Structure 1
Amino acid sequence: MFLIAGFGKVTGSKMHVEGFKQWRLLQWFRVVTGIVEIIGAAALIIGYWESSWVAAGALLLGLTAIGGVLTHIRVRDSFKQTFMILVLGIISIFVFLLRYSELFNFPGF
């Protein structure tokens, strides 16, 4: 889901452009958010071969999801509008907590 959403943000799909306008966020932040989502999703995919990447990707996506939920709360979006990012954030945080110990094997740590 983050990979698809990230590509939509980077390529400027109408839904994401309008969403960032509604949330009163600048369009360059849409692109940055999309890149972060793509990197996080790629880290999860790399984690298939190198498990420490799962923890790093899940942490990155979990933090991104927290920012998304806070954005929805800030503009008083409905629960229906907030639900998907909330669920994805919970899953990301759960995966991170499952793989937390492997983060110390991540390259550069």
Structure 2
Amino acid sequence: MEVARVVLQLLLVIVFSMTGIRKIAGVEMYQRALSKHEHRITVGFIEMVAAICLLLGFYYETLVMYGALILVVLAIGRVRTHLRVTQTFRELLPTIFFGFLALLLLFLVV
């Protein structure tokens, strides 16, 4: 169980640090979904905070719970935003998948 938690934690750190950096940098893909510049920067910053919490969670285990909780809340907000922008279900799959992985990590930690 510990190995699964570490692998899942590492995967989420890599994915969300990359997407957070890309949102802060203003990659065109994210400019469509989050129309306002401030929203995109804020979401990217929150993703980076969650990734840092997960990374520091290797040393301070309570931070894993906070980082995973942040990612679950972000995933719920992302699904709501995608549905409001009327994107297809296929475009929602990565969000649902990584939200589920964050929820799984949250359950493994608690």
Q: Percent identity?
A: 28
Give the counterpart of 1:58 among 44, 52, 68.
Answer: 68
Which structure 2 residue ranges, 5 or more long, are not aligned? 1-14
| TM-score normalised by length of structure 1 | 0.82
Per the TM alignment, residue 64 of structure 1 is displaced from its structure 2 partner at its CA by 0.5
Cα distance, 1:75 vs structure 2:
2.1
Q: Deviations over 1:4-26 (max 9, x none)?
A: 110011111121113323xxxx2
**Structure 1 partner of 2:16:** 2
Aligned residues: 96
- Cα RMSD, aligned residues only: 1.1
Find the residue that maps to 2:34 and give its secondary structure.
Answer: helix
Aligned to 1:28: 38
Give the deviation of 1:72 after TM superposition: 1.1
Aligned partner of residue 9 in structure 1, secondary structure: helix
State the 1:76 CA deviation: 2.1
1:73: how far off?
A: 1.6
Which blocks of at least 5 consecutive residues in structure 1 are unaligned? 101-109
Deviates more, 1:78-87 or 1:12-21: 12-21
